[in-house]
Structure 1
Amino acid sequence: MKLKKVYDTEAEIPEEAAAFYEERDGKWHLTLEIEGSASQDDVTRLNGALAKERNDHRATREKLRAFGELDPERTRQVMDRIGDLGEWDEVERKLYRLDGDGSTPKDEAAIQARIDAEVQRRERAIKAPLERQITQLTEARAEIERERDEARGTLRGRTIADALREAAGKAKIIPSAVEDVLLAGERVFDLDEQGRVVTKDNVGVAPGLTPDAWLTDLQEKRPHWWPTSEGAGSRGNRGGGTLPNNPFTAEAWNVTEQGRIAAADFAKADRLAKAAGTTVGGPKPAPRNRAA
């Protein structure tokens, strides 16, 4: 059942929701509020955090793009051995002691040792700043990924909580039980690839259920979440105890939810269908008389 925030006349208000409206300025306004619902400021802050994460991640990726597909270790080895030609000329003169007569030392082993020592010195001088830069970039990337995961986790939790609160309102869960609904739903719900809030695999309930269908399943197990007149087994004004979100009723007819319930528990689907005046796979029943 969908409710409007404002009705022009009292007659337009659904009977079961009449208690939640009051007359102001000649019209009837909805007064029901759900504690803890997300504000626009909350959504704005979360969107801002995600935008910052995307921009920071893009900047880091651009910094690392210079490495391309090259092997970092091999690239460092090559870079370490590239020097200024003029500088190597000076090294060469020192190593070979080339002077005016062009004489050179005769100890080739000593020359090689001095060359190796000079190469190692140059390697350390070149590698040190590169290694520091790589360490800084690695740490920056890890921090960006951490902030991204935190922002996504916060947005995911808020989206699931809002969907559960909305479903609880539709199912007329009593206010004192809403927190219990959120705690129980946090364990079994997640966002699918399309961003829809559905039950997860391997959590003890049928996967792919919406919050509305999940609460319908729980009404028999958690009747204390509902007012006495609407708990499981109560008959009240619902013509034989039909659940308020029973997808087999004319008012809440939903073939997809019928199939999900039948796949998870056919016996339960059969009970719900009979309570609504039809059968599993049967035709849509006639609407029930509210006054019955």
Structure 2
Amino acid sequence: MSSVNVSFEFFPPKTDAMEQTLWASVEKLAPLDPAFVSVTYGAGGSTRERTHRTVSRLVQETGLPVAAHLTTVAASREDIDAVLRAYWAAGVRHIVALRGDPPGGLGAAYEPHPDGYANAAALTEAARRVGDFEVTVGCYPETHPESANREADIDWLKQKVDAGATRAITQFFFDNNVYERYVDDVRRAGIDIPIVPGIMPVGSYKALSRMAGLCGATIPPTIKDCFEDLDNDPETRRLAAVTTVADQCRDLVRRGVEDLHFYTLNRADIAYAVCHLLGIRPTHADGRTS
């Protein structure tokens, strides 16, 4: 069994078919004994009820440690505190505190709610005040698109840590040297919480390219070449995705990384295959691994 800890991110389903896909993925990945699973919160808080419903079901039916995403967007402090109390009552003890995307999505201008928490640091502080939550926050190896520069970006992370954050998960990246340099800079700034790599399986190069452009992530030419002309060939694309993601993860582990967070996009196939290649196998009731 690998000594690497993994966690998996899901999003709340919009349709019955998507719900079936989500729970099939949870069922497939749960035996890998993840450190936690998380459920995202839509732009502008648009999925609040669906997120809470999904989180509650995960807590009640799976026994997995569950982290609920929460954002500051389009919600008052009173509303957010009520959500935090509801999560605590539902048995959730881990919050992923994010500023969040505006209602218009990535790229739209962000405006704090007039009666809300201004940013992720304030949200982190609120979560710690409402309950003894573990709080994970986001960080950006290639700098958040709205940050003035790298130094300012790392200072924002420090503010979140000072507010009580206990872990940071990175925006996805494909160049491990970028991640390593970022961690070095973060440590020099006096930040000592775990900086967990966020791993993005490539579902569609076209979709990935659009997302990377919005969040400031660089796609190396090797990744572009690997997925060129495969948008209409899903089977080969999945094989290519497993290979590229496994190579990235193996290299991170060789560099001393102990935790990996997979953005599953509610599909288990690539994440499960990569975990298998890393030596992470299903755990049985008697402690044996497959």
Is the structural similarity TM-score above 0.5? no
Higher-helix-fraction structure = 1
When normalised by structure 1's length, the TM-score is: 0.28
Tell me the TM-score normalized by structure 2.
Answer: 0.28
Larger fraction in strand? 2
